[in-house]
Amino acid sequence: MSFLARIKKKCRRSLEWVKLQRESALDAQRYFRSASWAGPVKRHELAHIESDLIKHYHVLEKGLVMSDFRPRSGTGVLKRLIVLTSIWKEAGGRECEFHFQAALAAIKSYHRKHQDLNIDVSDLIPAKFWDEEDAITTEAGSKLPNELSADDRARFDQLALSRHSVRQFDLDRVPDRDLLTGAVGVAISAPSVCNRQTWRVHFYEGAAAQEMLSFQNGNRGFGHLIPMVAIVTSDMRLFGGGVERYQGWIEGGLFSMNFLLALHARGLSSVPLNWSRLNKDDRALREAADIPDHERIIMLIGCGYASADHEVTCSPRSPVSNFIKWH
Ligand SMILES: Cc1cc2nc3c(=O)[nH]c(=O)nc-3n(C[C@H](O)[C@H](O)[C@H](O)COP(=O)(O)O)c2cc1C
């Protein structure tokens, strides 16, 4: 390589490094503006308290299912959770909100487990913490696992192996909202850190779907046939601390996979569409799509009914041994 070529290569690398630093700084800035630590932002106060409620009631739940369950363990977490329920109400949070109810249910489950063991926890849980026994509308705490038949287990492989990305849709058949809601209902069974469930899905159909696709760079040749677009995002307000900076992408990916399979199980086809873009493109899509600053776009998903006689790519997978290293 000539001297000049070497200099050019070095300059190109340096430029790419600067660009990467800039994009990473912009990602970090937006995360910092949204996530709940280092002096929470007032406008996100309720979301931050909600995140804290979830974290605490989930730790309490986990304590209840440990094989070496120790009575009266987790008292610090329980006390803080009880304080958080007051903080929530003082900040204007409604008692009917899902995670407030789940927090009450987890405390109640803790109480019940101790009651069953004849262990007094009245010093930990204030008297009349619940107005009425049946006022709590959510299930939380510990329970027995769901049953699954051998047939159910075998069907999963079939379902997963028969899903393919589809790029030929019947433009005239727009998926029914109930069907999509059902698919999201299954997709939210995805695991998430401390069960914080930061996923959001924004749906666009027809002309709006086409507008969203105009921002995406991987739908050339088939985008015009997509009747419905879902934009999967993660609400960064529910994360806390620099350590969780990548959590949204991880969980958004898990959710999206579940959603693709749930669509497939309902006879709907889909194509995941990358959102690997610069921050300026991200801002433009969020503006057009009416997605707030605190939601991180994970990917777009085109969905609908596959057109008759459509074909799919083989997208061959390497041998399974390539993916595994036993230690
Ligand atoms: C996050 C993600 C982004 C993708 N982006 C695109 C895209 O922009 N355009 C496209 O045609 N396919 C896209 N795909 C689909 C992949 O090409 C496809 O999943 C892969 O070839 C495997 O094929 P299969 O989905 O049929 O199993 C994407 C897939 C993923 C998971």
pLDDT at 135: 67
Q: In a mutational test of the pocket of ligand 1, which residue from 273, 296, 314, 318 has the highest number of ligand atoms less than 8 Å from its CB?
A: 273
Which residues touch 270 (CB under 8 Å, ≥6 apart)? 165, 166, 260, 263, 264, 301, 302, 303
Q: How far is the CA of 317 from the centre of ligand 1 (A)?
A: 13
Whether 274 lines ligand 1, by a CB cut-off of 6 Å, is yes
Is the pLDDT at 136 greater than 90? The verdict is: no
| Ligand 1 atom 27 nearest Cα | 164
pTM: 0.94
Query: What would the pLDDT profile of 90-115 be if each residue is shown by its tens digit?
Result: 999 999 999 999 999 999 999 999 99
Say if residue 186 is exposed, middle or buried (CB neighbours under 10 Å; 0-12, 13-18, 19+). middle
Average pLDDT, the chain: 94
Going by the DSSP 8-state scheme, the letter that residue 130 receives in this structure is S
Alpha-carbon gap, residue 68 to 65, rounded angstroms: 8
Least confident segment among 116-130, 225-239, 279-293: 116-130
Going by the DSSP 8-state scheme, the letter that residue 117 receives in this structure is T
Whether 299 lines ligand 1, by a CB cut-off of 6 Å, is yes
Tell me the pLDDT band of 274, cut-offs 50, 70 and 90: very high
Query: What would the pLDDT profile of 197-227 be if each residue is shown by its tens digit?
Result: 999 999 999 999 999 999 999 999 999 999 9
Least confident segment among 26-40, 68-82, 128-142: 128-142
Alpha-carbon gap, residue 35 to 235, rounded angstroms: 9
Contact present, 233 and 298 (Cβ < 8 Å): yes
At residue 228, the 3 state secondary structure works out as strand
pLDDT at 173: 95
Is the pLDDT at 134 greater than 80? The verdict is: no
Return the C-alpha torsion angle 59, 60, 63, 64, nearest 10.
-140
Alpha-carbon gap, residue 86 to 16, rounded angstroms: 50
Q: What residue ranges in 129-242 does DSSP mark as E strands?
A: 199-205, 228-235
Judged by phi (left if over 0) then psi (alpha if -120 to 50, else beta), residue 206 lies in left
Tell me which residue of 83, 294, 116, 124 sits closest to 200, measured CA to CA.
294
Alpha-carbon gap, residue 155 to 133, rounded angstroms: 40
Give the mean model confidence (pLDDT) for residues 294-317: 96
Alpha-carbon gap, residue 19 to 242, rounded angstroms: 21
Tell me which residue of 212, 224, 199 sits closest to 290, measured CA to CA.
212
Say if residue 102 is exposed, middle or buried (CB neighbours under 10 Å; 0-12, 13-18, 19+). buried
Tell me the pLDDT band of 312, cut-offs 50, 70 and 90: very high
Alpha-carbon gap, residue 195 to 187, rounded angstroms: 14
Q: How far is the CA of 160 from the centre of ligand 1 (A)?
A: 15
pLDDT at 277: 97
Alpha-carbon gap, residue 229 to 205, rounded angstroms: 6
Name the residue with higher pLDDT: 42 or 88.
88
Please count the CA atoms within 13 angstroms of the CA of 291 that sit on its side-chain side: 27
Query: What would the pLDDT profile of 16-59 be if each residue is shown by its tens digit?
Result: 999 999 999 999 999 999 998 887 788 899 999 999 999 999 99
Q: How far is the CA of 102 from the centre of ligand 1 (A)?
A: 37
Q: How far is the CA of 229 from the centre of ligand 1 (A)?
A: 15
Joined tokens for residue 36: 């709940």
Is the pLDDT at 133 greater than 70? The verdict is: no
The CATH number of the domain covering residues in 150-304: 3.40.109.10
